[in-house]
Amino acid sequence: MKRTKRTLVLTWLTCGSLMLSLCSSILLMDNASAARRKPEPPAPRRKIASDLSDRANKASGMETQKVILRLNDKISPQLASLLKGNGVKVKRQFVNFNTFSVNLPASVVNSLESFPEVEFVSTDSEVRSMGGHVSRTTGADSVRSMATTGYLDGAGIGIAILDSGIYQSHVSFLTGAGSSTSRIVKSVDFTGEGRTDDPYGHGTHVAAAAAGNGIVAGAKYIGIAPKANIINLRVLNSQGVGSVSSLLAALDWLMTNRTTYNVRVVNMSLGMPAVDSYKDDPICLASRRLVDAGVVVLAAAGNNGKNSSGQKVYGHIHSPGIEPSVITVGATNTKGTNSRSDDVIATYSSRGPTRGVRVDANGVKRFDNMIKPDLSAPGNKLIYAQALDCLLVQQDPSLSVSVSNSATRKQMRMSGTSMATPVVAGAAALLLQANPKLTPNMIKMILMYTAQQLPNFNMLEQGAGELNIHGAVTLAKLIKSDFATALLGSSLLTSAQPPTAQSTIEGYTFTWAQGVILGRADASGVNLITKNQKIYGLGVLLSEGVLVTDGVLVADLTKLSTGVLVSDNIKIGNGTTMSAGGYFCSVSVLLGDGVLLTDGVLFGDGVLVSDGVLVSDGVLLTDSIVQAYSALLGGDATTAMEIDADTGTDYAGY
């Protein structure tokens, strides 16, 4: 009986997906405007985050609540009076975002909703870290000499590392062999501990993955952009824990100081459970401001891809990875080989869709349901710089690897989307060095379009595919520098013909994905790289190129040119092209609000959601999805990067 039920459900899902794939994939052949509805006005919403409101209602009246208060106007005398009241303390102001960190009694929380200048109030939640081979398998080594003059190494580009600090004496951050000059050009502490070193040990490893110089062990553990400048913004304390307010303070600082240090890339290998919609989440909104200002922002997807029984779970992308404008990165397992033929998605890497929620005035929950991650990159058992006396190694000495006995040259091994994210951050720096006029949206498009789709993994697992730096740089160097002001549909490339959509890395040849993810949809077609699209500019989202008409996803011809195929299907990579990929299921069938998946449903990628599964607000759960970070550091059980001993002599030949 159960098999019959499962078969019926599978048949319904498959038929629904195929039917919607036929009606919701449209190849635009001319410039005639698609018939479209007028957008419905947004439904009134609660101004107090649901988790904060629930907690305040259960707390005693004077119990302190730590909140983030976002305004849409100047503070009125009435609100100013409340903020000066007994038990209320304004801790920080974030001037670029008209936002405040406030401690106040539980009895006051819900009253904030009555003030017209209050835009949204959310919890000042905890934020935690996520936590040679890589430069070869990603194609970074093969593009070093592709610049017109000199190497592509990130020189002059500022990468901001928002993490647990950096061990600044480590030789990986010097300008080069024999140098005593550090590339860490600025360090600021936002934790209140009054230090910018890395007693936890996470930030040092992350910074080296993005921009380690490779002078240890003959460049075996070189970062992706080894000459980039590093801006060390410490937002996680000695235990690897921070807060929304400390992260907001760092982003606020970046808005003010980004041009001083030429910060073009921001790396956040950290996150918190995504409760609120990206439209209300303060970290997402601050990240959007930076992207709109021309800064590439990257965030880790999270490490909640499986439960305690080892089963896959979906719907656990962390904030700020739920924000559409950022590049959200999942982790791949390269199995320790340079060849990409055996690469897979790491089991712990968080899967989409995004499940941030906005509650309307009637109490109805409206979920974001965005396709994430955007991209995947190597993140399993990576070896990079180890901080002095770091807590992570003290807790698990096996994380330290036998590369060197010198404190300033030691290396450690870690796994997670935390490690994958700086690999992509370094890649973004290389693209900006190759073509400084690229916008964040253009960089995001290039990285997705040139990615390698991994067979048998769907878009909610791998995004567009695995990072391909060789292909990304090849495409970036062909894009005109004036595209931001060019007309819609005008030529985007400096060459008459587009590049061959293939890359060969370490002897393995693969086809590019040739598509991009647009929020709840994906688009494919060579016109994405041969014709200018208005979604590549500043102040817009890639997803703004898609609208819904009569329930069908179509391209907005004021933002996208003709010749772009739009679909809402969650596809499975088959190792060739996105347009030729198999179908996982339609977004509208699988992810609609209120859709409850019955237990025992077999997904299109062969993943069986076990009997007894609960679907809570559309998030697929089995047992507890919480895993201690220390359990993830070891990564998936597979061959790790080889360990090469350091001679103690700086290597200068990368």
Burial grade of 4 (CB within 10 A; 0-12, 13-18, 19 or more): exposed
- Secondary structure class of 302 (helix, strand, coil): coil
Q: What kind and span of H or E run contains 412? A: strand 411-414
Distances (CA, A) of 333 to 336, 378, 390, 596, 641: 8, 6, 25, 32, 11
Q: How long is the chain?
A: 654
Tokens 């300033």, located at residue: 408
* Dist. CA 13–CA 318, nearest whole Å: 27
Please provide residue 607's backbone torsions phi and psi, each rounded to the nearest 5 degrees.
Answer: -90, 125
202 labelled catalytic: yes
Distances (CA, A) of 583 to 210, 491, 572: 34, 32, 6
Copy the structure tokens of residue 532: 């200018």
Yes or no: say if 417 and 330 are a contact pair by the CB < 8 Å rule.
Answer: yes
The number of beta carbons lying within 10 Å of the beta carbon of residue 214 is: 24
Exactly one of 246, 376, 418, 524 is catalytic; name it.
Answer: 418
* Dist. CA 652–CA 654, nearest whole Å: 6
Nearest-5° Cα angle at 441, 509 to 380: 50
Yes or no: say if 233 and 265 are a contact pair by the CB < 8 Å rule.
Answer: no
* Dist. CA 191–CA 434, nearest whole Å: 35
DSSP characters for 358-385? Answer: EEBTTS-EEE------SEEEE-SSEEEE
- Secondary structure class of 266 (helix, strand, coil): strand
Whether the CA torsion 215, 218, 223, 227 is positive or negative: it is: positive
418 labelled catalytic: yes
CB within 8 A of 228, min separation 6: which ones? Answer: 153, 154, 155, 156, 157, 158, 159, 183, 210, 211, 265, 426, 429
Radius of gyration of the chain (CA): 24
Exactly one of 170, 202, 205, 316 is catalytic; name it.
Answer: 202
* Dist. CA 272–CA 64, nearest whole Å: 21
* Dist. CA 597–CA 286, nearest whole Å: 34
Copy the structure tokens of residue 175: 């300008």
Copy the structure tokens of residue 119: 């835009």
Whether the CA torsion 61, 63, 68, 69 is positive or negative: it is: positive
- Secondary structure class of 92 (helix, strand, coil): strand
* End-to-end Cα separation, the chain, in angstroms: 63
* Dist. CA 216–CA 206, nearest whole Å: 16
163 labelled catalytic: yes
Nearest-5° Cα angle at 432, 428 to 433: 115
Catalytic residues: 163, 202, 418
